[in-house]
Amino acid sequence: MHRVKVVDAFCPRPYDERSLYSAPMGGTESAIVLLSESLARHSRVEVVQHCRLHSHTSANGVVYRGSDTWRVESSSPDHDTVIVINSPKLMGLWRRNNPGCQILLWRHNFLGNRHKDVFQLLDHYDATMICVSRFHQLDCYRSQRSNVTASRAIVIPNPVQVFANPYVQRNRNTLLFCSSPHKGLDEVVERFCKVRLTLPMLQLRICNPGYLDDSIINEAGIKVLGALTRPQLHAEMSAALCIFYPQTTFRETFGLVGAEANALGIPVLAPTGLGALSETLCGTEQLLDSVAIPQLVRRLKEWRTVPTPSVTAQTRFTPEEVCKTWWTLIQAGRQHSPLQSKAVASSQTTSAIGLT
The confidence score (pLDDT) of residue 169 equals: 94
pLDDT tens digits along 40-93: 999 999 999 999 999 999 999 999 999 989 999 999 999 999 999 999 999 999
In the structure, what pLDDT confidence band is assigned to residue 354 with cuts at 50, 70 and 90? Answer: very low
Say whether both 15 and 83 belong to one domain. yes
**Which percentage of the chain shows pLDDT scores above 90?**
79
How many domains does one find in the chain?
2
Q: Are residues 144 and 7 in the same domain?
A: yes
Q: Is residue 206 in a domain?
A: yes
pLDDT of residue 188: 95
Q: What is the largest CA-CA distance in the chain?
A: 66
Rg of the chain, C-alpha, whole Å: 21
3-state secondary structure 100-112: CCEEEEECCCCCC
| Pair 144, 237 in one domain | no
Average pLDDT over residues 329-342: 64
Q: How do strand 203-208 and strand 128-131 relate by DSSP bridges?
A: unpaired
Which residues constitute the domain of residue 134? 3-159+318-351
Co-location of 217 and 338 in the same domain: no
Residue 356 lies in a domain: no
What is the tens place of the pLDDT at every residue in 208-236? 766 656 666 888 999 999 889 999 999 99
**CATH classification at residue 100:** 3.40.50.2000
Mean pLDDT of 186-215: 88
The yes-or-no verdict on residue 197 having pLDDT over 60 is: yes
Report, as an integer, the average pLDDT of 6-27.
95
pLDDT above 70 coverage of the chain, percent: 91
* 261, pLDDT greater than 50: yes
Check whether residue 291 and residue 335 sit in a common domain: no
- Judged against a pLDDT cut of 70, whether residue 155 lies above it is answered with yes
Same domain, 63 and 178: no
Write down the pTM of the prediction: 0.91
Any domain includes 65? yes
Residue 293 CA neighbour count, 13 Å, CB half? 12
Q: What are the beta bridge partners of residue 243?
A: 176, 268
Domain assignment present for 166:
no
Which uninterrupted H or E stretch holds 294? Answer: helix 293-305
